[in-house]
C-alpha cells in the first residue's frame, strides 16, 4: 500500500464550530525570540560524548560569542525518515544495503518513529511514521526500484520531503541512502542547500555507490594495467556524487558515510542510530533583528571537571572532537513602526 504525502504526516485536528464569544480586550504579548541549535558531539571514532555542561560550549553568531540562555542534554524520541534512491544502479546492488539497514532499526529506541520514502524523479511515500519497526522493515523489504534509465532528482525530492515533515513535532532526521547522483536543476540544488543551512532537520547521508566503484573489492581480484578512459570518467562522476552527499550532510549539521561492504554499512547505521537520539540543545537570544541569514559556529572546550573529577572531553583535547550542528539561522525581522 502506498501512502500519499497528505496521509504521511500529522495534520491539524479538526474542531467543531463554536458559537461566537463576546469580544475581549486585546492581550499584551511579550515575545522573546530564541534560536535553538542542536549539537552532536563525538570523539574522532564517532562515539557520542556524554556529560558535557553549559560551560563546555561556546556559541558564535557571525563570529561573535553569544550567551547560552538555554541548555539541555536531549535524549528524546526522534522522527526518522529513511529516504531511499530507487534507481536501477541501486537495484543492481542486490539489496545488500537494505539488509544492513535493519541494523539501524535495531539500534533505534523503541519510541523512535520511522517513515520510509523512495525517490527517483519524485519522492513517493511508502510507509507512514510508526514506532513499530516491524512495519518499517516490511516496507523496506517490499521496496520497488525503477529498472529503466531515468531521472534521479535528489535535490528536488529532498526539498519536497522537507515540506512534508517541516512541521512535524520533536526532533527530525533524514537518513538518506543515495548514490549522490542528482539530475535536479542547479537552482533546485542551490535552494536546498540554503534551506538546509537554516533549518532544523538533520541529514545522515549514506552513499550507495561504494560497491559499484570498487568491483575488485567484491571479487578479490586486482585489475591489471592503467585505468581506461571510461573508468576515469566514472571516478570523476563518483567523486562529484560524493561531494553532493557531503555538502547535504554538512549544511544540515549531519554526517556522511561511504561504506564499501556489509560490515561498513552496519557500522555506519549503528553510529547513526546513536547520534539520532542524543544531542545537546543550545538556545540563545539573537541580538540582530535584520531578517538576514547569520552563520553559526559551536565550539567545545574542556571546561569544568564533572563529579568524578575528570573532564568529558577526551584527553582535554577539544581538537579530537567532531561537532555537528546547523550552519546558520534567519534572524527575526523588526516590524516597521
pLDDT digits (tens, 9 = 90+) for 41-77: 988 777 888 889 999 999 999 999 999 999 988 777 8
pLDDT, mean of residues 78-101: 74
Least confident span in 83-87, 167-171, 209-213: 209-213
- Range in 8-17, 64-73, 307-316 the model is least confident about: 8-17
pTM over 0.85: no
Q: Which three cell numbers stand for residue 208?
A: 550507495
Residue ranges of alpha helices (H) inside the chain are 5-8, 88-91, 96-100, 102-107, 133-141, 154-165, 186-198, 210-213, 215-219, 229-252, 262-277
**Of 218, 248, 274, 302, whose CA–CA distance to 75 is shortest?**
274
Least confident span in 56-60, 154-158, 225-229? 225-229
Look at the domain 78-216+227-276 and name its fold. Answer: Rossmann fold (3.40.50)
* CATH 3.40.50.410, the chain: domain bounds: 78-216+227-276
Cell numbers 569544568 correspond to: 304
For residue 169, what pLDDT is reported? 73
* pLDDT score recorded for residue 65: 95
Residue among 189, 249, 194, 206 at smallest CA distance from 40? 249
Dist CA 233 CA 141 (whole Å): 33
What's the Rg (C-alpha) of the chain?
22
Amino acid at each position: 500500500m502506498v501512502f500519499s504525502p497528505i496521509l504521511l504526516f500529522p495534520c491539524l485536528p479538526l474542531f467543531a464550530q463554536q458559537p461566537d464569544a463576546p469580544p475581549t480586550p486585546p492581550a499584551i504579548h511579550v515575545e522573546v525570540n530564541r534560536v535553538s541549535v542542536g549539537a552532536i558531539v563525538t570523539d574522532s571514532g564517532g562515539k557520542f560524548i556524554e556529560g558535557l555542561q553549559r560551560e563546555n560550549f561556546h556559541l558564535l553568531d557571525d563570529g561573535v560569542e553569544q550567551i547560552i540562555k538555554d541548555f539541555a542534554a536531549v535524549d528524546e524520541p526522534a522522527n526518522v525518515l529513511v529516504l531511499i534512491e530507487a534507481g536501477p544502479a541501486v537495484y543492481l546492488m542486490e539489496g545488500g544495503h537494505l539488509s544492513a539497514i535493519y541494523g539501524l532499526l535495531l539500534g533505534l529506541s523503541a519510541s523512535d518513529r520511522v517513515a520510509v520514502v523512495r525517490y527517483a524523479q519524485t519522492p513517493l511515500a511508502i510507509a507512514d511514521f510508526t514506532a513499530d519497526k516491524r512495519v518499517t522493515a516490511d516496507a523496506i523489504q517490499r521496496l520497488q526500484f525503477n529498472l529503466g534509465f531515468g531521472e534521479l532528482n535528489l535535490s528536488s525530492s529532498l526539498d519536497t520531503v522537507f515540506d512534508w515533515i517541516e512541521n512535524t513535532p520533536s526532533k527530525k532526521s533524514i537518513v538518506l541512502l543515495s548514490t549522490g547522483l542528482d539530475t535536479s536543476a542547479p537552482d533546485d540544488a542551490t535552494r536546498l542547500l540554503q534551506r538546509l543551512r537554516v533549518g532544523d532537520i538533520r541529514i545522515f547521508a549514506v552513499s550507495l555507490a561504494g560497491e559499484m566503484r570498487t568491483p575488485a573489492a567484491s571479487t578479490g581480484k586486482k585489475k591489471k594495467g592503467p585505468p581506461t578512459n571510461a573508468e576515469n570518467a566514472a571516478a570523476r562522476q563518483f567523486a562529484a556524487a560524493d561531494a553532493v552527499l557531503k555538502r547535504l550532510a554538512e549544511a544540515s549539521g549531519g554526517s556522511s558515510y561511504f561504506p564499501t561492504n556489509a560490515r561498513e554499512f552496519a557500522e555506519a547505521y549503528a553510529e547513526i542510530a546513536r547520534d539520532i537520539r542524543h544531542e545537546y540543545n543550545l538556545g540563545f537570544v539573537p541580538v540582530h533583528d535584520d531578517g538576514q541569514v547569520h552563520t553559526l559556529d559551536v565550539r567545545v572546550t574542556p571546561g569544568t571537571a564533572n563529579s568524578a573529577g575528570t573532564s568529558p572531553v577526551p584527553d582535554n583535547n577539544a581538537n579530537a572532537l567532531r561537532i555537528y550542528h546547523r550552519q546558520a539561522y534567519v534572524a527575526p525581522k523588526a516590524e516597521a513602526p
